[in-house]
Every structure is written in structure tokens, then in C-alpha cells.
């Protein structure tokens, strides 16, 4: 990632564009103030009182992941790796989201935990709980910082704002609306952000496609310039053959599709929190499933602009000029007139705020509920924890500002994020999935599995790969391999430690392990939930089939 | 709720764990369902305003802007689409208004079956 984007990316914004941006900021803050009166208990602040409809939590689920880093990073991947980038969506995100909704959500939502680490507490006890709560809090602050830094660079290049202005303005807005309204205002703003982002990116893609002669024009020029495989999803991914991604089909499917994506989507509390705020179990299950459908089509407005940018500026990512991350800003500058340009700038800012707000709202929950209340200051009245959560939100945002500069060392933002996720989330998923289906698995196995998997991934990435001991052609390829190693090492440690240690008494596992139920927490189905379009199985399998069908045009 | 000896968030000895009892109680006290506004209103108004602004820019398009956007009047089309989305949300809200939260006694009735011991296991 460049410290500074090329100066000539400055957008020709005018008063109309700034009016659109100003209206957005007013609305964001208004949502925060209006949501404030609904915050009475800590449950309201952390989980919107478990009251939201599935379409709201579903769109927030997808928006929380559609941060500016995701948008710029995936467009960058499109320009760098070509159509391979769709694997992050169709073989990566979709099956994992469906798995979260259909398989894991009954345990998460059904047990009434407030956070993903809290599930670990009840299933495995305090040591793995504390480990994951601390890792998650640190990662959240770090990623919020990455977000802020990336935004500051982009806004400096596009609007000429000094970096500190962007950091302070955006940080303060996120801080204000989450402190006021808690998760409700984070989620509501994410839903609004989702539509603003679409309103910015769809016109960009349409005009961009016209510029390069439609899809066929795009296809022909990139196949001509980059070779036949660049515009296919699987071409050149045979084991031993060479491709831009530096990964073969096996590491794509197992590393990205299984280990990395399942680890990210099923255990990342920033996402799962949205589902936990749904009003009943059916709505919670449907949250990631409803999110899966827009997610299938997001490559069309993120990866395609990356490809278009490569046609317009063939030297992007080579040398000192434009970087891969400049793909979308470049198209905005060259193609959008004032008006839509303002919407696109607002969308980019909105995307940044969505990503950061998701991190901050999940951070304040885990830190306040799991760490502060769990170990430091127990047994205070509920009101005390609402106040604490508000203070923690402010502290988290300020810490995020401080960590903003860690991002500077990696050339591609996504690589950096994926690296982090492969270290934290994959072993977490390993431990969860075994613990949910194997009653015997012991608390000690949970802790050591988590630790061993995380350390193994770090050793593989930083020592074996960066140290040159194994030969993997790219950072992405190394991420996929590290994720597989994290999963396998975590699982092996779990299998070895469990027989040697004491299991948790079965009566403590009610509702936490397959085949058990939380006594007294069964709910009556809500009227209307029997409708066919609300059946989780149908939605889930529908999303998987649709994602598989999307591969067809890019496979032959 | 915590007896201090069994780690955070209460003891796990009872069948229905304490933390789950507390969550149920907080769900009853929660104000979100009753007091949280409907997000469809926000999306609706924001997109109607955006739609009008951008459509207006599209109606007074300059040749230069048209050239830049590859001869698509992108402001006009985006503006109309945003206007339509905003109106859709307002219409949806009109046709299917926010469901008022169940009254206290209704909640009592709904949660009553929860209290019965489960026969499942």
C-alpha cells in the first residue's frame, strides 16, 4: 500500500457532491440520536435487545463486511489476479455463510450467549474464553486502525483532505453514533450504508463497462494482454502449474474455501453479532443466508471495476505510478460526473464507516461483556455496564486511531487482513466445530488447540514462508497454506489433548453441543416464519446452488 | 448472579444456567422492540432526497459530463433509480407498518410455554 496515492487522483468534486456527503453525515448522526432512546439495558446496547427483523440484520451482516478495505482491496485483487478473485466470494464466503446460518447459529443463538468468546466460556471454560476475548479485542482495534489509515490516504488523494482531518472526522462520527445508540445505530447505519455503497458502485461499473466496450471488450483486451487464464476462475490452477494467484485448486478449495473462509465467517464476532441481534432463532439463522445473496453479486461491482481499471491503465500496480488499490478511485475520477461522483465518494466513506463501526461495536461488546465484566469488575448492576460500554467505545476508537500506521508495511491491504484472520480465526473455527459435535472434547483441548493452531499459522507464515524455507509463489498462496496448517494443527492438538484431560460434565453442556438443548429457552415460531421463502434450508441451499452456477461462465 | 467461585457469568451447575435466566429477564426489560424506530423510514427519505438531487443534476447535464460518462446520462438514471428505491421503502413502510411490540401481558402469555419443562430429551 502506498503512503500516498498519486497526486493526480484528485477528484473534481463540486458543491453538489459535498452536499450529498454532508446529508449523509447528518443522517448517520441522526440515526445515532434517534436510536439512543431505545437503549435501556446492556442487552439493548450490545445486541439491540434481540429484536431486529432478518432483512435488517442480513443487510447489516453483508455491509459490516463491505468496508472500504474490502472494496478497494478486492478491486485491487481483481486488477492483480484477474477473475480468480471471485473465489473469495463463491467458494469462500458463500458456503461458509450458509454453514454459519444452518449449522452453527442454533448453538450461538439458541444458547443466548452475547458474543462468540462467551460461547467458548460456556463450552470450554475461562482459559480459552480469555484467550479468544483478548485476541479478538486486539485484532478489532488493529483492523479499525487499518481502516482509518486506508481511508485517510484515500481521502487525501481524492479530496485533498489532510490525513489527520479524515481520521478525526470519521473516527469521531463512528464514536458518536455507536456511543449514543449502541449496536442498533451501528446496524441501522450499516443498512443505509449498504444501499449508498450500491448507489455509488453500480453506476461506476456500468459507465466503466461502456468505456471498455462492454463485457466482451473487457474480456478480449485482458485475455490479449494477460493470457487466457486471467479471465477464468480455474484456468492454470492445476497442481504444479503457474498462475497469478500462486495457489492451486486444492489450496484454493481447502485453504480459502474451507479453512480461511469458515474461520472468518463463522467465528468473526463482528459478523456474528449482527445475527445474534435478530429477533428470534429463525431470523438469526436467516441473517447470514439473506446476506449470502447480495454477497454473490458483489464481485460484479467490485472485481469488474478492478478489471476495467487494468484496461484503462495497463501499468497499474507496476512501479511508482498507480497502485492496485487505486483502481476504483481511478475510475471515479475518469468516469463519473458530479452528482453520481458525490454518491460514490459518500459510498466509499460509508463503506469505511461500516467496516470500522462493525469492529468498534463488536470490540465494545467483547471487551465490556467478556473481559471487563467477566474478570475485572463483576456483579455490578446492568446500568453500570451500559456506561462502561460507552466509555470502552470511545477508548477503542482512540486506540484505533493510534494503530492506524501498522498498515503501512504491507503492499496489498487484503493480504494484511487475510494474514491476521488466518492466525486468529481458523483455529477458533477448528475448536468450535469439534466442540459443537463432540461432547467429550475437554476444556484443556479447547485452549491448547486454539493456541497451537494460531502459533502454527504464524510459524508457517513468518518463518517458513517469509524466511524462504518453503517455496510458495505469492502472499495469498501462503495465506491459504497457513490457514490449512492452522486447522490441521489445531485439530490434531484437540484430538491428542482430549483423551488425556477431563471432559466438561454433560449437564453443563446443555444447548452448546449437538444433541442437547438449552432447558427453558425453546421458542415458539413467530407467525409467518413457516412461509416457504423464510425456510432456512431453502435459502441456504439456494445460495450455494446460485454461487455454483455463477462459476459456469468463468470455467470453460 | 455470580457466586464468585465458578468463574465469570455465574455458576454452571443448575440445569438452566444462571446466565440464560438473566438473559431472559433482560429480554423482558429491553426497550429496543418498543422504542427503536423503523430503518425503512431513514432509507426512504434519504434516497428520495438523493434521488431528487441527482436526477436534477441529470436534467441539467452538460456536454462535458455526458462525454465523461461515455454518453450515458448516468446522473439521470442513477437519480431515478435512487428515487424509486426511496419511494419503494416508504411504500413498504406504508403497506406493512412497524409491528407494535407485544404488550406486557401478551409477552407473558407468549413466554409462558418457555417456562414449562422440556419433554424433548
Please give the average per-residue pLDDT across A354-379, as a whole number: 90
Instruction: Kindly report, residue by residue over A316-339, the tens digit of the pLDDT.
Output: 877 667 888 888 888 898 888 999
Decide if pLDDT at A390 tops 90: yes
Higher pLDDT, A468 or A397: A397
| B75 contact A CB<8A | yes
Q: Band the pLDDT of A431: cuts 50, 70, 90.
A: very high
Torsion of CA A349, A354, A359, A363, to 10 degrees: 120
pLDDT at A389: 92
DSSP E strand stretches across A25-119:
none
- Cβ of B31 under 8 Å from any chain A Cβ? yes
Instruction: Flag if B42 and A27 touch (Cβ within 8 Å).
Output: yes
Evaluate if residue A412 carries a pLDDT over 80.
no
Q: What is the pLDDT of residues A94-129, one digit of tens each?
A: 999 999 999 989 888 988 899 999 999 989 989 989
**Residue A343 is nearest to which of B17, B54, B114, comparing CB atoms?**
B54
Cα(A189)–Cα(A29) distance, rounded to whole angstroms? 9
pLDDT band at B109 (very low <50, low <70, confident <90, very high): low
- Of A295-299, A494-498, B14-18, B44-48, least confident by mean pLDDT is B14-18
State pLDDT tens for residues A47-98. 988 889 999 999 999 998 888 778 888 898 888 888 888 888 898 899 999 9
pLDDT of B2 over the 60 cut:
no
pLDDT at B3: 38
pLDDT: is B13 or A272 the higher one? Answer: A272
For chains A and B, CB pairs below 8 A equal 197
Where in A387-458 does DSSP place strands (E)? none
The full set of domain ranges for chain A reads: 15-554
pLDDT of residue A101: 93
**A542 to A59, A79, A92: CA distances (angstroms):** 17, 30, 16
How many Å apart are CA A419 and CA A416, to the nearest integer?
5
- C-alpha–C-alpha distance, residues A291 and A508, integer Å: 33
The pLDDT assigned to A23 comes to 95
Average pLDDT of the residues of chain A: 85
Residue with the bigger pLDDT between A479 and A411: it is A479
Contact between chains at B43 and A184 (C-beta distance less than 8 A): no
Contacts (Cβ under 8 Å, ≥6 apart) of A10: A157, A158, A159, A160, A333
Pick from B30, B57, B113: which is nearest to A49 by CB? B30
| pLDDT range class, residue A19, cuts 50, 70, 90 | very high
Which backbone phi and psi does A313 adopt, to 5 degrees? Answer: -130, 85
pLDDT at residue A522 tops 70 = no
- What is the DSSP code (8-state) at residue A552? G
Question: Checking phi first, is residue A213 left (phi over 0); if not, alpha (psi -120 to 50) or beta?
Answer: left
| Right CATH for A15-554 from 3.40.50.1220, 1.20.1730.10, 3.90.180.10, 3.40.50.720 | 1.20.1730.10
Chain center to CA of A14: 33
Cell of A91: 467458494
- Using the predicted structure, report yes or no on whether residue A3 has a pLDDT greater than 50: no
Backbone φ and ψ for A52, nearest 5 degrees, come out as -90, 145
Query: Does A56 lie at the interface with B, CB-CB under 8 angstroms?
Result: yes
Q: What percent of chain A has pLDDT over 90?
A: 35
A203/chain B closest Cα distance in angstroms: 7
Contact by Cβ (8 Å): A421, A263: yes
Please answer whether residues A273 and A183 qualify as being in contact, where contact means their C-beta atoms are separated by less than 8 angstroms: yes
Nearest CA in chain A to B79: A340
Question: Which residue of chain B comes nearest to A382, CA vs CA?
Answer: B26
Nearest-CB residue to A522 (from B42, B69, B114):
B114
CA distance B11 to A238: 53
Whether A312 has its CB under 8 Å from any CB of chain B: the answer is: no
* The pLDDT of residue A523: 64
| A411/B contact by beta carbon, under 8 A | no
Which of A203, A332, A339, A383 is best to mutate for the B interface (most B CBs within 10 A)? A339
Residue A406 confidence (pLDDT) above 70: no
Burial grade of A464 (CB within 10 A; 0-12, 13-18, 19 or more): middle
Of B36, B47, B74, the CB nearest to A35: B36
Tell me which DSSP letter residue A52 carries.
Answer: B
Query: Closest residue of B to A181, CA-based?
Result: B36
pLDDT of residue A464: 82
pLDDT of residue B118: 40
Per cent of chain A over pLDDT 70 is 93
Q: Residue A2: is it exposed, middle or buried by C-beta count within 10 angstroms (0-12/13-18/19+)?
A: middle
The answer to whether residue A23 neighbours chain B at the CB level (below 8 Å) is yes
pLDDT given for residue A215 in this prediction: 87
Which residues, numbered 255 to 274 in chain A, qualify as contacts with chain B under a Cβ-Cβ cut-off of 8 Å? none
8 A C-beta contact, residue A36 and residue A180: yes
Separation of alpha carbons A472 and A475, rounded Å: 8
Which residues on chain B are in Cβ contact (under 8 Å) with A49? 27, 30-33, 36
Treating both helix axes as pointing N-terminal to C-terminal, what angle do A340-365 and B74-95 enclose, rounded to 10 degrees?
50
Give the model's pLDDT for residue B5. Answer: 38
Distance CA A50, CA A321 (A): 49
Tell me whether residues A520 and B115 touch, CB distance under 8 A. yes
Q: CA A109, CA A518: separation in Å to the nearest integer?
A: 11
**pLDDT band, residue B11 (cuts 50/70/90):** very low
How far apart, in whole angstroms, are the C-alpha atoms of residue A288 and residue A59?
9
Alpha carbon distance A235, A240 (integer Å): 13
Mean pLDDT of all residues in A234-239: 74
Count Cβ atoms below 10 Å from residue A549 Cβ, excluding itself.
11
Residue A44 makes CB contacts below 8 A (sequence gap 6+) with A38, A182, A184, B30, B31, B32
CA atoms within 13 A on the CB side of A525: 9
What's the pLDDT score for residue B17? 67
* Interface probe, candidates A43, A56, A331, chain B, greatest B C-beta count within 10 A: A43
**CA A78, CA A83: separation in Å to the nearest integer?**
6
- The fraction of chain B above a pLDDT of 70, given in percent, is 67
Predicted local confidence at residue B114, as pLDDT: 46
pLDDT digits (tens, 9 = 90+) for A488-510: 999 999 999 999 998 888 888 87
To the nearest 10°, the Cα dihedral for A427, A431, A437, A439?
A: 160
Looking at the predicted structure, is the pLDDT value of residue A481 above 90? no
**Radius of gyration, CA atoms only, chain A:** 23
Distance CA A483, CA A489 (A): 10
B contact test, residue of A126, A340, A365 with most B CBs within 10 A? A340
Residue A236 near residue A242 (C-beta atoms within 8 A) = yes
Backbone torsions φ then ψ of A417, nearest 5 degrees = -65, -45
Question: What pLDDT is stored for residue B42 in this prediction?
Answer: 94
CB atoms within 10 A of CB A108: 26
pLDDT at site A287: 94
Q: Which of A416-420, A449-453, A520-524 has the highest mean pLDDT?
A: A449-453
What local confidence, expressed as pLDDT, does residue A222 receive?
79
Partner B, chain A 379-408, Cβ-Cβ below 8 Å: 379, 382
Q: Which residue of B has its CA nearest to A519?
A: B16
Q: How many helices (H) and strands (E) does chain A have?
A: 22, 0
End-to-end C-alpha distance for chain A, whole angstroms: 34
For an interface test with B, give the residue of A126, A210, A520, A524 to mutate (most B CBs within 10 A).
A520
Averaged pLDDT, B86-90: 96
State yes or no: pLDDT of A161 exceeds 50: yes
Instruction: Please report the pLDDT score of residue A460 as a whole number.
Output: 86
Interface of A with B in 505-524 (CB under 8 A): 507-508, 510-511, 516-524
Whole-number mean pLDDT of chain B? Answer: 75
pLDDT: which is higher, A185 or A314 = A185
Largest CA distance in chain B: 76
Residues 85-114 of A with CB under 8 A from B: 111-112, 114
Whether A519 sits inside 8 A of B1 (CB atoms) is no
Task: State residue B96's pLDDT score.
Answer: 85
Amino acid at each position: 500500500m502506498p503512503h500516498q496515492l498519486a497526486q493526480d487522483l484528485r477528484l473534481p468534486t463540486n458543491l453538489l457532491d459535498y452536499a450529498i456527503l454532508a446529508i449523509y453525515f447528518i443522517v448517520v448522526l441522526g440515526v445515532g440520536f434517534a436510536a439512543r432512546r431505545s437503549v435501556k439495558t446492556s442487552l439493548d446496547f450490545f445486541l439491540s435487545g434481540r429484536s431486529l427483523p432478518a432483512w435488517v440484520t442480513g443487510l447489516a451482516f453483508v455491509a459490516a463486511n463491505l468496508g472500504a478495505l474490502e472494496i478497494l482491496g478486492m478491486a485491487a485483487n481483481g486488477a492483480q489476479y484477474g477473475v480468480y478473485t471471485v473465489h473469495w466470494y463463491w467458494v469462500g464466503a458463500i458456503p461458509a455463510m450458509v454453514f454459519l446460518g444452518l449449522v452453527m447459529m442454533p448453538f450461538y443463538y439458541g444458547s443466548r450467549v452475547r458474543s462468540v468468546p462467551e460461547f467458548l466460556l460456556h463450552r470450554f471454560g475461562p482459559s480459552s474464553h480469555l484467550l479468544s476475548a483478548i485476541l479478538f479485542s486486539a485484532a478489532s482495534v488493529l483492523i479499525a486502525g487499518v481502516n482509518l489509515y486506508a481511508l485517510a490516504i484515500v481521502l487525501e488523494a481524492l479530496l485533498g483532505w489532510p490525513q489527520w482531518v479524515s481520521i478525526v472526522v470519521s473516527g469521531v462520527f463512528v464514536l458518536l453514533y455507536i456511543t449514543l445508540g449502541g449496536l442498533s445505530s451501528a446496524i441501522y447505519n450499516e443498512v443505509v450504508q449498504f444501499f449508498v455503497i450500491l448507489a455509488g458502485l453500480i453506476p461506476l461499473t456500468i459507465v466503466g463497462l461502456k468505456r471498455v466496450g462492454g463485457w466482451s471488450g473487457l474480456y478480449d483486451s485482458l485475455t490479449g494482454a494477460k493470457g487466457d487464464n486471467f479471465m477464468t476462475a480455474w484456468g492454470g490452477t492445476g497442481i504444479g502449474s503457474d498462475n497469478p494467484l500462486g495457489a492451486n485448486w486444492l489450496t484454493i478449495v481447502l485453504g480459502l474455501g474451507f479453512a480461511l473462509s469458515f474461520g472468518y465467517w463463522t467465528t468473526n464476532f463482528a459478523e456474528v453479532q449482527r445475527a445474534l441481534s435478530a429477533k428470534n432463532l429463525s431470523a438469526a439463522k436467516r441473517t447470514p443466508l439473506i446476506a449470502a445473496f447480495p454477497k454473490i453479486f458483489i464481485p460484479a461491482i467490485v472485481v469488474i471495476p478492478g478489471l476495467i481499471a487494468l484496461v484503462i491503465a495497463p501499468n497499474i500496480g507496476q512501479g511508482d505510478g498507480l497502485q492496485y488499490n487505486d483502481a476504483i478511485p481511478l475510475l471515479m475520477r475518469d468516469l463519473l460526473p458530479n452528482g453520481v461522483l458525490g454518491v460514490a465518494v459518500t459510498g466509499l466513506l460509508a463503506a469505511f464507516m461500516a467496516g470500522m463501526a462493525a469492529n468498534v461495536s463488536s470490540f465494545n461488546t467483547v471487551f465490556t461483556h467478556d473481559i471487563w465484566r467477566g474478570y475485572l469488575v463483576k456483579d455490578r448492576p446492568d446500568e453500570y455496564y451500559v456506561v462502561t460500554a460507552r466509555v470502552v467505545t470511545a477508548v477503542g476508537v482512540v486506540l484505533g486511531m493510534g494503530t492506524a500506521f501498522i498498515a503501512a508495511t504491507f503492499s496489498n491491504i487484503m493480504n494484511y487482513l487475510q494474514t491476521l484472520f488466518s492466525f486468529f480465526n481458523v483455529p477458533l473455527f477448528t475448536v468450535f466445530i469439534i466442540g459443537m459435535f463432540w461432547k467429550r472434547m475437554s476444556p484443556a483441548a479447547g485452549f491448547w488447540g486454539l493456541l497451537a493452531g494460531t502459533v502454527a499459522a504464524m510459524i508457517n507464515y513468518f518463518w517458513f514462508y517469509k524466511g524462504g524455507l518453503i517455496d510458495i509463489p505469492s502472499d495469498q498462496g501462503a495465506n491459504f497454506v497457513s490457514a490449512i496448517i492452522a486447522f490441521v494443527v489445531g485439530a490434531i492438538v484437540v484430538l491428542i489433548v482430549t483423551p488425556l484431560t477431563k471432559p466438561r460434565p454433560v449437564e453443563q453442556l446443555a444447548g452448546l453441543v449437538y444433541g442437547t438443548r438449552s432447558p427453558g429457552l425453546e421458542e415458539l415460531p413467530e407467525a409467518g416464519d413457516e412461509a416457504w421463502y423464510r425456510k432456512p434450508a431453502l435459502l441456504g441451499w439456494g445460495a450455494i446452488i446460485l454461487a455454483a452456477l455463477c462459476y459456469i461462465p468463468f470455467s470453460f | 448472579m455470580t457466586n464468585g467461585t465458578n468463574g465469570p457469568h455465574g455458576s454452571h451447575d443448575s440445569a438452566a444456567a444462571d446466565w440464560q435466566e438473566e438473559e431472559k429477564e433482560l429480554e423482558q426489560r429491553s426497550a429496543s422492540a418498543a422504542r427503536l424506530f423503523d430503518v425503512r423510514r431513514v432509507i426512504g427519505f434519504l434516497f428520495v432526497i438523493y434521488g431528487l438531487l441527482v436526477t436534477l443534476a441529470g436534467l441539467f447535464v452538460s456536454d462535458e459530463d455526458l462525454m465523461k460518462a461515455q454518453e450515458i446520462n448516468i446522473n439521470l438514471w442513477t437519480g431515478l433509480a435512487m428515487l424509486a428505491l426511496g419511494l419503494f421503502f416508504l411504500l413498504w413502510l406504508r403497506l406493512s407498518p412497524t409491528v407494535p411490540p407485544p404488550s406486557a401481558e401478551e409477552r407473558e402469555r407468549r413466554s409462558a410455554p418457555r417456562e414449562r419443562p422440556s419433554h424433548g430429551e
